[in-house]
Structure 1
């Protein structure tokens, strides 16, 4: 998940999220089911046929998160994934990442948002490129 969304502006949300599945050769019916389920998880099912240019920055961020998750990656690298989200949606994404982590997925996230970071099981605090301290939760 990038700080910049890298969405295809002329494709609706559903197609942007679907792209990795198309490349993978997933059937159109399965693609639609998976995409709509994931869009519901990020609170954007009602925006499935909207183009990214009509979405707010936070909505575009959530589309990018959905696209990153659509192939069920074992490892997710997320650079400020909640940087453009309001507090409610930031927590929703933090909870989603936590659920994925509880299911065995590795989430590596960079954030300045301590509330979002608090959902992690392990936090590394970095200052000037050096690990300052580590916090482990059980």
Structure 2
């Protein structure tokens, strides 16, 4: 996996995440227009991740009764590309808009952990080390899939 440059985030999303173009097509304005002109629009990565990725795709897939392995692998490939980007703004957006959503339930957290690449896993570990060391220990002991 290679690092996703900030200017390429929406392109990477469209190329990687199944159904991404359909999701962008139904988003309300002005966000839709701004996301389509990324990075020149007046939008925010936090908004993009929440509106176009986490809420419509990632969380439903992580909480589904039966996981769709190929969709989750694509989603976590997208996450990993951003996680490799050292830009503090990108890292903060991942922390607050992606990783923190893993805390919605134990199932979501453990399923996400199984799909995280090394850089994303490091970000999740950092978040849990600051907030919940007990859960971090449980994740580290969980069998790898």
**Higher helix residue share:** 2
Note whether the superposition's TM-score is higher than 0.5. Answer: no
> Over alpha carbons, which structure has the higher Rg?
1
**TM-score normalised by structure 2 residue count:** 0.40
Higher-strand-fraction structure? 1
